[in-house]
Amino acid sequence: MADEFAIGTLEPQSLDAFLDLLAHYLGPVAAPRYRWLYLGNPHGTARTYVVRHRPSGRLVGCTSLFPRRVAIGDRVVLAALGGDAYVLPEMRRRGLARRLHEETRAALGGELAFMFGPPAPDNLRVLMRVGARQVRTLRHFTCPLRGAWVGRWLRQRSAGHGILGRLVHMVPPAVLESTFDCLERAAALRFAAHRGRPLLPVERVDDRWDDLWERARPRGAVAPVRDSAYLQWRFLDQPGQDVRMLALPSPGSTRQLSGYAVIDTCHGRLTIYDLLCERWEDVVALAEGLRQIARNQNLDAATLRLDQGGPYVAVLLWAGFLPTPKPVPFQILAPPGSLAAAQAGALPWLFTLGDEDWSGAALNP
């Protein structure tokens, strides 16, 4: 029986059909997203693979590789974040997602060393069947700032846990919340020495960020490169997203930077999309500055997502960021024998929400 589907790279003459397919998946953001993400990425233009239904001529599925320079210790390779994997609902359960990922894998190992990222659960299962490996576990870390949030968190987490659940539900919410608020104010005193360092708003990224990257990049971990061109494109030039970029100057100098953070507020929380710091005390100073911003906005908590064994986690735990129970698998797809993929899979990662292909990456703290 003849194969009714053809799979290959996106050709220029099929661009309009691809944008229609992408709009079916993403809605009206598809066209500006394509111009920004697929064409504008300073680390390279996207590689897109599509499924064509031969009888009708329609494009019915797609997936893409978004190039990203990745530092593995002292070495930098060009790899890719996978994204926008989609098959029209009426064409599913025909093995098309698997065939798309097989096409993707066949393209890896040359210019693009490997593909990486935290795919959606259904997509992860397909990727594992074509040879992907889960190499790390990401987790959300949340710093509670108000007793109301802690009360809700305790009641949710203790439900169905026997004596603990009954004890938590016996305590009046107002008592629980006021107790936490008192404890939080007392605990905050341990960060007093790190207060006073300003977080300055950023409108344009300059060469200070390249200098910061060279000084602060984690040498014992894997980290997608955060050079000035990428940061400007990713966070400040991105259409339709209103994130804030804040710089942490080095003590006594605004010319040199010790760190930065990219933040937004949603659902009563301060979301930290990205961060980079030179030293552990800079992480604490940055975290305290962000906590103060959240308190001033009367937010319940600050949250971010990191590799649970990666850079900054130990300091953030000490600073009051609590791990949430739901893990997020992180995978690498590469051809057999890939040395770069083996090295990247053996080390912790600095991988944030901002390293994904869109600032609206799903939050589930």
Inter-axis angle of helices 162-170 and 147-158, to 10 degrees? 150
Q: What is the mean pLDDT of the chain?
A: 88
Helix/strand/coil for 64: strand
Of the pLDDT bands very low, low, confident and very high (cuts 50, 70, 90), residue 193 is low
Which residues make beta-bridge pairs with 274? 262
Query: Tokens 């999309």 — which residue?
Result: 273
Give the pLDDT mean for 118-141.
92
Q: What is the maximal distance between C-alpha atoms in the chain?
A: 73
Please name the residues in contact with 257: beta carbons below 8 A apart, sequence gap of 6 or more.
208, 209, 211, 212, 247, 248, 249, 250
Token code pair at residue 325 = 């129970």
Q: How far apart are CA 332 and CA 344, in angstroms?
A: 8
Lowest mean pLDDT among 163-172, 202-211, 213-222: 163-172
- Per DSSP, 244 falls in state E
pLDDT score of 210 more than 80 = yes
Q: How far apart are CA 335 and CA 351, in angstroms?
A: 22
Of the pLDDT bands very low, low, confident and very high (cuts 50, 70, 90), residue 364 is very low
Could you give all domains of the chain from N- to C-terminal order, each with its CATH number?
A: 5-131 (3.40.630.30), 140-355 (3.40.630.30)
CB 266 within 8 A of CB 242: no
**pLDDT score at 7:** 95
DSSP sequence for 84-104: EEEE-GGG-SSSHHHHHHHHH
Number of neighbours of residue 109 by Cβ within 10 angstroms: 16
pLDDT score of 194 more than 80 = no
More confident residue, 204 or 179: 204
For β-strands 328-333 and 115-117, DSSP reports them as: antiparallel
**pLDDT score at 162:** 61
**pLDDT score at 362:** 36
**Nearest Cα to Cα of residue 54 among 5, 114, 98:** 5
Give the pLDDT mean for 302-315.
96
Query: How buried is residue 3: exposed, middle or buried, by Cβ count under 10 Å (0-12/13-18/19+)?
Result: exposed
- Per DSSP, 308 falls in state T
Query: Tokens 């080095």 — which residue?
Result: 250
More confident residue, 228 or 252: 228
CB 213 within 8 A of CB 276: yes
Give the pLDDT mean for 48-57.
96
Q: How far apart are CA 63 and CA 33, in angstroms?
A: 14
Number of neighbours of residue 157 by Cβ within 10 angstroms: 14
* Percentage, residues of the chain above pLDDT 90: 70
Give the C-alpha distances (Å, rounded to integers) separating 126 from 10, 108, 119, 217: 21, 17, 10, 33
More confident residue, 179 or 237: 237
pLDDT score of 281 more than 90 = yes
Lowest mean pLDDT among 140-144, 152-156, 339-343: 152-156
* pTM to 2 decimal places: 0.88
Task: For 242-269, give one letter per residue: b (16+ CB within 10 A) or e.
Answer: ebbbbbbbbeeeeeebbbbbbbbbeeeb
Q: Note the residue count of the chain.
A: 365
**pLDDT score at 145:** 84
Over the stretch 12-37, which tens digit does the pLDDT of each residue have? 999 999 999 999 999 998 999 999 99
Of the pLDDT bands very low, low, confident and very high (cuts 50, 70, 90), residue 242 is confident
Give the amino acid at 128.
M
CB 208 within 8 A of CB 200: no
Give the pLDDT mean for 168-190.
58
pLDDT score of 216 more than 90 = yes
